[in-house]
Amino acid sequence: MTRIAIIDPQFDGTPDIELDEAGADTEFTILRPGYDPVSPADLDGADAVVNCRSRHYIPADLVAGMTTVKVVVQAGVGFNHIDLDACAARGIPVCNTPDYGTMEVADHAIGLMLALSRGIPTYAERLWTRDDAWGTHALPLPPVRRLSIRTFGVIGMGRIGTAAALRAKAFGMTVAFYDPFLPAGTELSFGFTRAATLEDLLAQADIVSVHCPLTPQTAQIIDDDAIAAMKPGAVLINTSRGGTVDLDAIERGLRSGKLNAAALDVLPREPLDRSHPLIAAWGAREGWLDGRLIITPHAAFYSPEGLADMRRLSTRAVMGYLTEGRLRSCVNLRELERHGHRFDA
């Protein structure tokens, strides 16, 4: 009998998709710890842990108590909340599930850009209560601009960045990207402009869309300096991780007008911290933010189809390793090797 613990406070129903993928000789335990941390006792006897979304950390002290766990799978893309080295020290591979929601996140990023640049939520909401919201006098909003003459700038041209860029191209936009880890010449296959530095990208992009992972290098990659390097009236879209932007800097950028608008699906603190001055001003519907800030609840990944794929593919990753020693999208191979554990990718 294989025992798999799923950490998912929002898990609804029974693990039918998981059982279908894993086979009958498998037992699933669903842990719904809310916002509380998971304890080693919760994982006692589990052969594998599937961690859903990014709310629950798997830090070194939890890993130390995971005496039976052989593999950890993040049901999602980002894995900055898992201690990769602590897992590697115990010979535990960590895999992610990067291929469940690429289209949804790209659609969301483009949806946020369209919502801002066409003023859709603001026009619709005003009309709900105000007759004077009808008429050309009511239409100008700072981010409402012709898109087809603008440049869509991507930070992190991976799976989602590429999907978003292709969508922006379909709107007639010029696409530029910054990604220091792609091989030389990638820009030729994409047919997009490659920026040699972040500053170079920021100087040419009208819309900056962040699609890199959260790493020590990308923590607050959008800060005051980055905003200063942007074009006047730039628009920022973030669907990556909240930690890639400095929310205080976004507020300063919006207040000064250097940023026309921002749309954030992810925040440095989730769920949203209503005491933050920017979020408080947005919540109070202060006029200076009218049509200039959209916040969505870390929803970019979501669709029923994407969620089903996430469950199926994360179970596949667990079973592939436990039954055949096959690793699917392992993200701590380097750490495993450093600790003397060799695996083929």
Catalytic residues, by residue number, are 241, 270, 298
Q: Does 158 bind ligand NAD (CB under 6 A)?
A: yes
Q: Does 160 bind ligand NAD (CB under 6 A)?
A: yes
Q: Smallest gap, in angstroms, from Cβ of residue 76 to ligand NAD?
A: 6
Q: Smallest gap, in angstroms, from Cβ of residue 318 to ligand NAD?
A: 19
- Looking at 6, 144, 165, 212, which residue binds ligand NAD (CB under 6 A)? 212
Q: Smallest gap, in angstroms, from Cβ of residue 71 to ligand NAD?
A: 20
Q: Residue 73 or residue 105: which is nearer to ligand NAD going by CB?
A: 105
The length of the chain in residues reads 345
Q: Is 215 helix (H, G, I), strand (E, B) or coil?
A: coil
Q: Smallest gap, in angstroms, from Cβ of residue 106 to ligand NAD?
A: 9
The piece of 28-36, 84-92, 130-138, 233-241 that touches ligand NAD (CB under 6 A) is 233-241
**What is the DSSP code (8-state) at residue 23?**
-
What gap in Å lies between CA 3 and CA 230, rounded to an integer? 51
Q: Smallest gap, in angstroms, from Cβ of residue 2 to ligand NAD?
A: 27
What gap in Å lies between CA 116 and CA 135, rounded to an integer? 19
Q: Does 330 bind ligand NAD (CB under 6 A)?
A: no
**Residue appearing with tokens 């990308």:** 218
Site for ligand NAD in 234-293 (CB under 6 A): 239-241, 265-266
What gap in Å lies between CA 306 and CA 321, rounded to an integer? 23
Nearest to 247 by CA among 223, 265, 282: 223
Nearest to 48 by CA among 78, 11, 16, 18: 18
**Residue appearing with tokens 């005051």:** 224
What gap in Å lies between CA 272 and CA 278, rounded to an integer? 11
Q: Which residue's CB comes closest to ligand NAD? A: 158
Q: Does 165 bind ligand NAD (CB under 6 A)?
A: no
User: Hey, what are 257's tokens?
Assistant: 């007008």
Binding site for ligand NAD (CB under 6 A): 77-78, 98, 101, 105, 155-161, 178-182, 211-215, 217-218, 239-241, 265-266, 298, 300-301
